[in-house]
Amino acid sequence: MSRPSIPKGTRDFLPAEVRKRQYIFDTIRGVFETWGYVPIETPAMELLETLLGKYGEEGDKLLFRILNNGDFLAKADREALAQMDSQRLALSIARRGLRYDLTVPFARYVVMHRHELSLPFKRYQIQPVWRADRPQKGRYQEFYQCDADVAGSDSLMYEAELVQIYDAVFRKLGLKVRIKLNNRKVLAGMAEVAGVADRFTDMTVAIDKLDKVGWEGVRAEMEARGIGAEAQQRLQAMLEARSVEALAEALAPSQTGRLGIEELQSVLAYLDGIELHNALLFDSTLARGLSYYTGCIFEVVVDTDAHPGVRMGSIGGGGRYADLTGIFGLKGVSGVGISFGAERIYDLLEELNLFPEGLARTLQVLGIAFDEATHRFAFRQISALRQAGIAADLYPEPVKLKKQMKYANAIGVPWVLLVGEDEMKTGKPALKNMHTGAQSAHTLSEILDILRADA
């Protein structure tokens, strides 16, 4: 084997990339913890019976399935084999699949561990998920999700809290965003009021395209989906409402619509008097992932006023699902949660140059020696620095100075400790500042002070 590679849609990460990703995860984790969320972890492999049917027909196709070990054909579906039916055969030769998201495993987790948990249970989870999507720029088959969810309470306080979490995380990351808020009941109310309650899904599919095709396109889509001109007009009028109040009157005839408005008002009341760094916008056209959301819906996009020229889809989303665990046999547990699009956030911070400086640097000093004896001496010096908590290294051999300095430059170390025969005799190695080029001899304890001051 001469040219190794990795599966399409997967990635290796270089050290600098790992540190930048870690910075994003740590920032998100820190806010989650401050807001009272606790970490859980679930296995990469789930039983397929847990995953199948939870993400729609399309989702089922995108699951990675693990071939059963051993003589898997012994228990294979003979009929499926005879008919060369891959889809059916798969059910008999693969009983496990890779996690597709963090929400379904969380619902399963709550059901399995309900006797060990106190409700409301506020958990966060930062783990990779796998999807057999066609790989393309910015879309991977293995990627991290960062989720916070609350299970076991229908208090709208949590919707308010999740808005604050979005606000706090993006503030810390230096990214100005718009947090969009809507409510599924508001959308349902609109459909009722416009007399197209039976066309609810058609309506939301059309609305979801607004960003891409504009109002004309949305109306054409509605037309094609059997929503008449009058209903289109009434819907457009409601969808153009820019505030909850403006919509409240129009939705008054619908009980569901009124409930949606009340929920939104309740969330906003919690946030009353609390300063947000980012804009919180009511957006009645927000209709994402309606398949399982039942109440409030969130979406976060970049604030293009603050960051002009940036083109990027949503970098976060979430909502309320009144029946989180019913599918696993536990009724009456409401859930609400949000997710951060860590991969896109990474690309944005990179594009906008928002990663803190010095993130990639951990090594503070590299020792350089000139012969066997000074190399052994330098190893003890470097060891002493490490014992004191300084990230330090020693070039592995006393080769030519030029080669060692080239390595020091390549790895970007800020200080070099030069240990020659004189330095060994006096016990004062020369410390060179790689940035300024300045160099001076010091005792180890002085060096420790200098490096600590620079950490």
306 exposed, middle or buried (CB, 10 Å; 0-12, 13-18, 19+)? middle
Residues 6+ apart with CB under 8 A from 198: none
How is residue 398 written in tokens?
Answer: 């006393």
Q: How far is the CB of 138 from its own copies (least distance, A)?
A: 16
Restricted to residues 198-257, the positions that interact with its own copies (CB under 8 A) are none
* Segment interacting with its own copies, rule: CB under 8 A, options 57-65, 255-263, 296-304, 416-424: 57-65
Segment 259 to 278, residues that bind its own copies, using CB under 8 A = 269-270, 272-274
Of 35-43, 173-181, 224-232, 303-311, the segment contacting its own copies by CB under 8 A is 35-43
Residue 137: CB minimum distance to its own copies, A: 17
Backbone φ, ψ for residue 342 (5° rounding): -60, -35
Pair 318, 336: CB distance under 8 Å: yes
Per the structure block, which two tokens stand in for 443? 């005792």
Which is closer to its own copies, CB of 250 or CB of 369?
369
Number of residues that bind its own copies (CB under 8 A): 109
H or E stretch covering 339: strand 335-340
Select 96 or 219, whichever has its Cβ closest to its own copies: 96
- Smallest distance from the beta carbon of 247 to its own copies, in angstroms? 23
Helix (H, G, I), strand (E, B) or coil at 260: helix
Residue-wise over 228-242: b if at least 16 C-beta within 10 A, else e?
eeebbebbbebbebe
**Shortest reach from residue 435's CB to its own copies, in Å:** 19
For 204, the enclosing helix (H) or strand (E) is helix 200-207
User: Closer CB to its own copies, residue 19 or residue 209?
Assistant: 19
1-30 positions binding its own copies, by CB under 8 A: 1-7, 10-15, 18-19, 21-22
Q: How far is the CB of 101 from its own copies (least distance, A)?
A: 15
Q: Supply 220's token pair.
A: 């054409």
Rounded-to-integer distance, Cα 390 and Cα 446, Å: 13
Transcribe 376-399 into DSSP letters.
HHHHHHHHHHHHTT--EEE-SS--
**Nearest distance, CB of residue 286 and its own copies, angstroms:** 24
Span of 105-113, 178-186, 315-323, 344-352 interacting with its own copies by CB under 8 A: 105-113
Which residue, 272, 365, 286, is CA-closest to 318? 286
Contact pattern for its own copies over residues 163 through 192, marking x by CB under 8 A: -x---x------------------------
Which 64-103 positions form the footprint of its own copies (CB under 8 A)? Answer: 64-67, 69-74, 81, 84-87, 89-90, 93-96, 98
Contacting its own copies within 302-341 (CB under 8 A): 327-329
How far apart CA 326 and CA 304 sit, in angstroms, is: 40
Q: In the bound complex, what is the minimum distance in angstroms from residue 412's beta carbon to its own copies?
A: 9
